[in-house]
Structure 1
Amino acid sequence: MEKPSDKPRFVTVTVSDTRTEADDASGKALVEELADFVHVRHAILPDEPARLTELVRGVIASAEADAIVFTGGTGIAPRDRTYEALSALFDKELEGFGEAFRRLSWDEVGPRSILSRATAGTVENVVVFSLPGSEKAARLGARALIAPVLSHAVDLLHGRTKHHGKHGR
C-alpha cells in the first residue's frame, strides 16, 4: 500500500478578484476531486500575472508541492490573464490537456467550450494545471483529467518512471 507521503502534493489557487474563502466553490471542488492526493494549501489571488508568477516560483523554490492547480482566469474577458501568466512560465506545454478539457466541456456546454483557455504545462519539476473558474468546470477537469494522470506526470518529471511498450504501459 502506498504511504501518504508517496502521493503527489498539490497547491490549489482560485484566481478571482471577488471570491473569498466563504464562497470559493471552485477551490473547494478541486480539493474534493483530488482527495486521493496530498493537499498542501489553497490561495485566492487576483488575476494579476505578477502575483501568479510569484506563487509558482515560490512553490518551486520551497519544493512545497509537485503540482499547482489553478481555477479561474481562463476566459477571454479583458481581466482574464491567467493563461498568459502561466504559459509564459511553461518549460513544456501539455497541449492535450486544454484540448481534452474543451472536448469534455463540449458535452456539457456545447460551442461555448471553445471560449475556454484551459491549459497545463511543466515549470521545472512542477506540473501546473489551469481550469476555468466555475465549480462545474473545476470538478470536471480535476476528476476526469488531472486525477487520472497526476501521479504519473509527477513521476515522469522526477525521473521515477519510463514509458513501456507502444502505449506507455
Structure 2
Amino acid sequence: MSRSPVRVATLTLSDTRTLDDDEGGQLLGELLKRAGFSVTSHAVLREEPELLRAAIVQIADAGSADAVVTTGGTGIAPRDRTLEALAPLFEKTLDGFGEAFRRLSWDAIGPNAILSRAAAGVARGLVVIALPGSPKAVELAVTQIIGPVLAHAVTLASGKGGHHHRPPQPAQGEEQRG
C-alpha cells in the first residue's frame, strides 16, 4: 500500500510581490514537488498578520493540506511580522527547525544568518514552516531540511505515528490502574 504524498499549501507574504513576479513562491512550489510533496494551493498575501492567520485557519478547517510553508516576512524590518502572526496559532514550536536553518545559512552567508527568524510549529494540526523570501534561503530550507523531515513531522503532528500515537492498553485480563 503506497502512501499518498504530503499535501502542502504555500503562501508568499509580501507587500510588493504578485503571482507573476513571485520568484521565491514559484521556486518553493517547484522544489516541494521535486521532493515528492503535493502542492495543493499557492497565494500571495500582504504582510498583514490577520490575513496570514485567517489563511492558516481556512486551510486547516478545509482539510486541504497537511502542512503550510510560507516565504517572506521573517526578517527584522518593521513590516516583517510573519512570526508575530503565527505565534498565537502555534500549539507547539519546532525550535530545531530555526536552529538548523540558521546553522546551514551561516555556512552559506556567514554572520548575517542570525538576522533570520525562520521558524516552524504546529498550528491546528498543520505543520507550519515560515521561510525567508530569498530564493536561496527557500532552496536551502527545502533541500536540506523540509524535504528530509516534513513527511515524518506531518505523521507525528497528526497523531498517526511515533511512539505517542495512542495510549497503552492493558493486557487482556489486566485491570487498568488509575
Same fold (TM over 0.5): yes
TM-score, normalised relative to structure 1: 0.92
Residues in 1 aligned to 2:159 and 2:44: alpha-carbon distance in whole angstroms? 31
Q: 2:67, 2:126 within 8 Å by CA — same for their partners in 1?
A: yes
For 2:54, the equivalent position in structure 1 comes to 54
Residues in 1 aligned to 2:77 and 2:157: alpha-carbon distance in whole angstroms? 33
For 1:22, the equivalent position in structure 2 comes to 20
For 2:73, the equivalent position in structure 1 comes to 73
Structure 2: 5+ residue stretches without partners: 165-178
For 2:115, the equivalent position in structure 1 comes to 115
Deviation string 1:84-120 (CA, Å, 9 cap, x unpaired) is: 1012210000000001000000011100000000000
TM-score, normalised relative to structure 2: 0.87
Asked which structure has the greater CA Rg, the reply is: 2
Residues in 1 aligned to 2:7 and 2:67: alpha-carbon distance in whole angstroms? 7
Once superposed, which parts of structure 1, at least 4 consecutive aligned residues long, lie more than 2 Å away? none
Amino acid at match of 1:77: A
For 1:149, the equivalent position in structure 2 comes to 149
Aligned length: 162
Q: Secondary structure at the match of 1:105?
A: helix
Amino acid at match of 2:124: E
Q: Secondary structure at the match of 2:42?
A: strand
Amino acid at match of 2:5: K
Amino acid at match of 1:102: R
What percentage of aligned pairs have identical amino acids? 53
For 2:170, the equivalent position in structure 1 comes to none
Are positions 1:11 and 2:9 aligned together? Answer: yes
Structure 1: 5+ residue stretches without partners: 165-169
